[in-house]
Amino acid sequence: MTTGDSISKDNRLAVHTEEFWSEDALLDEQKRQFDVCHGCRLCFNFCPAFPDLFDLTDKVEEEKGLSLTRELLRPVEAQCYQCQLCYLRCPYTDPHEYKLDVPALFLRAKFVNARKEGIPLSDRVLADTDTLGRLGSKASGLVNRASKSTPLRVIGEKVGGIHRAAWLPMFASPTFSEWFADNRDRLDTKVVEPTRKAALFYTCYLNYWGQPAAVACAEVFSHNGIEVVVPAQQCCGMPFLDIGAAKGVQRKIDANLPQLLKAIDEGYDIVVPGPSCAMMLKRDWPMIHQSAETERIAEHTYEVSEYLWLHKLAGSLNTDFQHSLGKVAYHAPCHLRMLFVGNKGADLIGLIPGTEVTAVERCSHHDGTWGIKTGSHHISMKYGKRLFDDLTDAEADLFVSDCPLASTQIGQGTGRQPIHTMQVLKQAYGI
């Protein structure tokens, strides 16, 4: 097996192989893929990583005796925040013989670097969203006030590396899981004969920070005769993936597997109201934890708007909308596009009478903690300006995004906070 084959699309996170962790094998694969990128340059303006990469490959080509090394590539790797746009646009991905997957290559480098050098404490703390969310929600009033305190933000910048100017999400109290426990009986009484059965993988973000979107999802589902349950669950593991913490990702997968498999056995579909987490369950879990169990979960997992669109195709979507919403600018998140299901959120909103939808396919450049860190917040906002401008130019009455992190970024960049597609439908139904 060649190095290129080992990290192909079907095995991009082969953390169980020795070759994955070999620095020499990693460098060989970087040279192979980046040689193709050097001659193509289609992604020159997608993110900061590619301009830095092309400057480096130009220098290597021009200076005799200079070659790519792991040391030279480290600053380039640090600029990748896994938006996946280059993979979406690349003409050389699998099944092309070159089998390029640059995001996977940068992610592999992050894993290799983390194993060799360790992971900073601040990164490990930020990646543990379940602990952060649990503690922050219990003291939401105090923590939310602290996040707006300039002196405390200055301390947070110096100690935790969180840029003092970056907008931070507010902790929710109660959490969505607490809200659902209090409201499940009410929701169940609205569903006499279920049209479908959905197990909501509500995501740690919507549980602890974006509770209104998850609440809207449950309300919209029950309004459509869909029985909703909420299995016990933890974070999908993406924050640990982003920092190269292989064991952290594996722990999250192991914690979630039994509960989700049980739900599937009981006839429930797994529905995810967050594109990044849906991508994790459908695409990354089977590559990291290569088993029949993760493949089964991937087969039964749906992004929330995709799921409701299937409901529409089956003729069972409730289209008795009570309110129009005027002009809507819909932001299509990068990770939603990686699911290759189309912009079903925009399609659903387009069903509402008197509502006009403009879809904007631009990256917010927030991508987890990258958008709030001291060294990258200003770059994040600089690259996000193209999205901010396109949304503003749409002259819409309402901004919508199904990515909660993108919503925070858009809010800071435009002064207008988007809402989730499920919140739009809830308003239109008049729930």
Q: What is the mean pLDDT of residues 8-17?
A: 64
List, in sequence order, every residue forming a beta bridge with 301; answer none if it has no partner.
Answer: 270
If you average pLDDT over residues 424-430, what whole number do you get?
97
pTM of the entire structure?
Answer: 0.92
pLDDT at position 425: 98
Average pLDDT value for residue range 54-77: 92
> Can you give the residue ranges of every domain in the chain?
3-117, 121-160, 176-312, 319-429
- Going by pLDDT thresholds of 50, 70 and 90, the confidence category of residue 6 is very low
- Segment 168-186 mean pLDDT: 95
pLDDT band at 12 (very low <50, low <70, confident <90, very high): low
Residue 91's alpha-carbon distances to 36, 37, 87, 278, in angstroms, are 11, 10, 9, 24
The full DSSP string for 114-174 is: HHHH---HHHHHHH-HHHHHHHHHHTHHHHHHHTT-HHHHHHHHHHH-B-TTS--PPPPSS
What average pLDDT does the segment 210-229 reach? 96
Q: Are 105 and 7 in contact (CB under 8 A)?
A: yes
239, 369 contact by CB (below 8 A): yes
pLDDT one-digit tens code per residue, 395-417? 999 999 999 999 999 999 999 99
Which pLDDT value is given to residue 368? 83
What is the pLDDT averaged over residues 379-392? 95
- Cβ proximity of 429 and 220 under 8 Å: yes
Q: Which CATH class is domain 319-429?
A: alpha beta
Token pair of 53 as six digits: 């990469």
- pLDDT, position 98: 94
The CATH number, out of the four listed (1.20.58, 1.10.357, 3.40.1000, 3.40.50), of the domain defined by the range 176-312: 3.40.50
Give the residue among 194, 196, 178 at the shortest CA–CA distance from 268.
196
Better-predicted residue by pLDDT, 11 or 380: 380
Looking at every residue in the chain, the average pLDDT score rounds to 93
**At residue 3, does pLDDT exceed 70?**
no
